[in-house]
Chain A
Amino acid sequence: MKTRYSPRSYIELWSWLFAALTLFVLLAGAVLLLKDSVLVWKHEGTEILTGKEWFYRSETFGAAAMIYGTLIVAVLALLIAAPLGIGAAICTVEYLPARWRMVIKTMIEMLAGIPSVVYGLLGILILRNWIYQLFEDFEILSGDTLLTAGILLGVMILPTVMTLADDALSGVARAQRIAARGLGLNATDTIFSVSLPQALPGLIAALLLALGRAMGETIAVFLVIGRQDNQWPGELFSLRPLVESGQTLSSKLGGAEINIAYGQPLHWSAMVGLSFLLLLLVVGLTLLGLWIREHSKHTSYDK
């Protein structure tokens, strides 16, 4: 059917209108973020990425420590959620009967439904005390640490990892598994020789999307990370900073500083600049994840 892009009915006109509106709103949002942060790009240049110090009174806006915090917390979360989520997905797809799979999937999706503020509450009332007791010997100042935020985030993105990994694994054709089993491979041999290699792009995409989600998460992290500015680690690869307070891009944006900044052009544009950086990071990871997934769909063998 040849399409003419002239609407032929109210319903079509209406659909196009609202679809266009959606697109317009999204574009406008991105443009506004960029426009409102122009001041800080001019003021700091690349210093905003590399600068380790953020003092708004002296108009120094370096986000390196926050970017470090964001990455560390997200990677910690992934270290927890990846083995657990992929392991659970393997179990439900490959070992358990189908009806169990639906029960567990439903339960995990409920886990995803718990609001982040409730996770934050659990973090603040329980997890940070555990962390404090556990690391008391290291003379840590409080239970509000990067590690606390990482663990909490790990639990929060677990459903994302598991659901997407489940999708990736169940996307591998059943006939492929049956063929491998028919040759005498046991269920686990089949996982390692058929399911995992074929689902690999989907699994990588799952991890990237989950990483993006972890970086963007605000409220729970905000409540347990301590929100200490300028925590650039003395040694980049030492573990000590993990049990100290820190700041992530999102926890910074969630804080009261945004109200201080409002009305002061440069400071405000610095805050908007941070959210633009965060958006860039997350959208980049999401795009990469989606690209890997799509790309593999076209090259993989579907039968």
Chain B
Amino acid sequence: MTNREKSHTKNPSKSDSKSRRKRRLIHELMRLFTGFCVLLSCCLLLGIVSFIVIRGLGALSVDFLTGVMAEVGASGGILYQLLGTLLLLLTAAVVVIPLALGCALVQSVFLTREAHRRNITLVLYLLNGVPSIVFGIVGMIVFVQWFGWGKSWLAGGILLGLMILPTVCVTLIERIQAVPKKYIEAARGLGLSRAQTIRSVILPQSIGGLFTGLLLGLARAAGETAPIMFTATIFSGATLPSGVKESPVLSLPYHIFILAQDSYDPATKAKLWGSALVLIFLVFLLSLLALPARLRIHEEANHL
């Protein structure tokens, strides 16, 4: 064999080094551009959060958290808004847990055909894409028009629960699928029935996923306004509900939503930022609680 076979890089021609310089330049430009994108995204987050913290911190006090709103939001606190939001979240959690468990177990344990599993996943993804205002409208049709509940905390909780179902369910499914096959096979090999296997192996191993998903879902539900504005929440004049019919609650997001539209009075503005800060704090708290478990899952995935 002779040397004719490898001629084209032996003596790098001028055009060769020119192309190398060009590629080098593109490389540097790309790094610059994408780095800028990351920086800008992170700055946006830090900017927004610090902005709200700076504006809102002044309004924050124990009285603000434990006081009752007065003067159309210009003074007083947000006690019942906070309690109302917590009540909605609690209801949503109670609604979503059985549904998510059922859907996740059906999807990942009871269905054995891949096509059927994919269909459930598809439904979950679609549900996740449904605009929150559509939940509000459907809720109005069902609970206000049909059931005659008027505005009710229960309607809001159910709607929020349905809305976060995909988040909870998908997280749980991921966790169930991460349970090592050998455990399940071992349990079945020991003669445990499918139900016993679920109770003694699958659920204990994956129940963390339910809570992680629940926290993430609730973080999203806490800030939602659109599904509850026509069905569950009012701006003022409610405390804690005593029944179901005609028993609205106050809520933080709706409080902010209404005050934001009428935001010229400085005293109201200060309270408004304070409320936004509390809401963001609540949302971040919920998603931060879910973070360790998610990081662990990521690490496990990377170590495979």
Residue numbers of A with Cβ under 8 A of B are 1, 3, 8-12, 14-19, 21-23, 25-26, 28-29, 32-33, 36, 83-88, 90-92, 94-96, 98, 102, 104, 106-111, 113-118, 120-122, 124-125, 155, 158, 162, 186-189, 191, 209, 212-213, 215-219, 223, 250, 253-254, 258-259, 262, 271-272, 275, 278-279, 282-283, 285-287, 290, 294
User: Chain A residues with Cβ under 8 A from B162's Cβ?
Assistant: 22, 25
Closest 7 A-B residue pairs measured CB to CB? A115-B223, A216-B131, A18-B102, A87-B37, A9-B195, A91-B34, A286-B129
Please give the distance in Å from B268's CB to the nearest CB on chain A: 12
User: Chain A residues with Cβ under 8 A from B33's Cβ?
Assistant: 87
Stretch at the interface among B10-18, B63-71, B238-246, B255-263: B255-263
Q: Does B280 contact A (CB under 8 A)?
A: yes
Tell me whether B257 and A188 are in contact (CB under 8 A). Answer: no
Q: Beyond the given A16-B110, A84-B40, A111-B45, could you list 4 further A-B residue pairs with CB under 8 A, ordered by the A residue number?
A: A33-B138, A115-B223, A212-B129, A278-B134
User: Chain A residues with Cβ under 8 A from B112's Cβ?
Assistant: 1, 3
Residue numbers of B with Cβ under 8 A of A are 23-24, 26-27, 30-31, 33-38, 40-42, 44-45, 48-49, 51-52, 98-99, 101-103, 105-107, 109-113, 118, 120, 122-123, 125-127, 129-134, 136-138, 140-142, 144-145, 162, 165, 193-195, 198-199, 219-220, 222-226, 229-230, 253, 256-257, 260-261, 263, 269, 272, 276, 279-280, 283-284, 287, 291, 295, 298, 302
Please give the distance in Å from A161's CB to the nearest CB on chain B: 10
Please indicate which of the listed interface residues B120, B141, B145, B219 has the most CB atoms of chain A within 10 Å of its own CB: B141
User: Chain A residues with Cβ under 8 A from B269's Cβ?
Assistant: 125
Tell me whether B131 and A162 are in contact (CB under 8 A). Answer: no
Please give the distance in Å from B121's CB to the nearest CB on chain A: 9
Tell me whether A116 and B223 are in contact (CB under 8 A). Answer: yes
Contact with A19, one of B35, B36, B102, B222 (Cβ below 8 angstroms):
B102
Tell me whether A8 and B129 are in contact (CB under 8 A). Answer: no
How far is it, in angstroms, between the C-alpha of A1 and the C-alpha of B194 when the chains are bound?
12
State the majority secondary structure of interface residues on A: helix
User: Chain A residues with Cβ under 8 A from B26's Cβ?
Assistant: 188
Q: List 13 A-B contacts (CB under 8 A).
A: A3-B113, A12-B194, A15-B105, A26-B127, A88-B37, A91-B34, A102-B298, A104-B41, A110-B284, A110-B287, A114-B223, A259-B230, A283-B130
State the majority secondary structure of interface residues on B: helix
Tell me whether A26 and B123 are in contact (CB under 8 A). Answer: yes
Task: Say yes or no: A125-B133 contact (C-beta < 8 A), given A22-B102, A107-B45.
Answer: no
User: Chain B residues with Cβ under 8 A from A95's Cβ?
Assistant: 31, 34-35
Tell me whether B260 and A117 are in contact (CB under 8 A). Answer: yes
Task: Say yes or no: A91-B37 contact (C-beta < 8 A), given A98-B302, A275-B137.
Answer: yes
User: Chain B residues with Cβ under 8 A from A29's Cβ?
Assistant: 138, 142
A-B contact count (CB 8 A): 253
User: Chain A residues with Cβ under 8 A from B253's Cβ?
Assistant: 115, 117, 219
Please indicate which of the listed interface residues A19, A33, A84, A187 has the most CB atoms of chain B within 10 Å of its own CB: A19
How far is it, in angstroms, between the C-alpha of A103 and the C-alpha of B107 when the chains are bound?
32
Please give the distance in Å from B17's CB to the nearest CB on chain A: 14
Tell me whether A87 and B99 are in contact (CB under 8 A). Answer: no
Task: Say yes or no: A122-B45 contact (C-beta < 8 A), given A18-B103, A19-B106, A92-B38.
Answer: no
User: Chain A residues with Cβ under 8 A from B113's Cβ?
Assistant: 3
Please indicate which of the listed interface residues A87, A187, A250 has the most CB atoms of chain B within 10 Å of its own CB: A87
User: Chain A residues with Cβ under 8 A from B51's Cβ?
Assistant: 122
Please give the distance in Å from A166's CB to the nearest CB on chain B: 11
Residue ID in chain A nearest B188 by CB atoms: A1
Contact with A120, one of B23, B118, B260, B295 (Cβ below 8 angstroms):
B260
Tell me whether B130 and A19 are in contact (CB under 8 A). Answer: no
Task: Say yes or no: A88-B41 contact (C-beta < 8 A), given A216-B134, A258-B140.
Answer: yes
Please give the distance in Å from B228's CB to the nearest CB on chain A: 11
Residue ID in chain B nearest A125 by CB atoms: B263
Residue ID in chain B nearest A123 by CB atoms: B260
User: Chain B residues with Cβ under 8 A from A12's Cβ?
Assistant: 105, 110, 194-195
Task: Say yes or no: A88-B52 contact (C-beta < 8 A), given A253-B137, A254-B133, A272-B137.
Answer: no
Task: Say yes or no: A115-B44 contact (C-beta < 8 A), given A23-B123, A33-B141, A258-B140.
Answer: no
Tell me whether B34 and A11 are in contact (CB under 8 A). Answer: no
How far is it, in angstroms, between the C-alpha of A218 and the C-alpha of B125 when the chains are bound?
20
User: Chain B residues with Cβ under 8 A from A258's Cβ?
Assistant: 137, 140, 230
How far is it, in angstroms, between the C-alpha of A111 and the C-alpha of B40 when the chains are bound?
12
Please give the distance in Å from A206's CB to the nearest CB on chain B: 13
User: Chain A residues with Cβ under 8 A from B284's Cβ?
Assistant: 110, 113
Tell me whether B222 and A115 are in contact (CB under 8 A). Answer: yes
Task: Say yes or no: A32-B41 contact (C-beta < 8 A), given A114-B223, A114-B283, A283-B130.
Answer: no
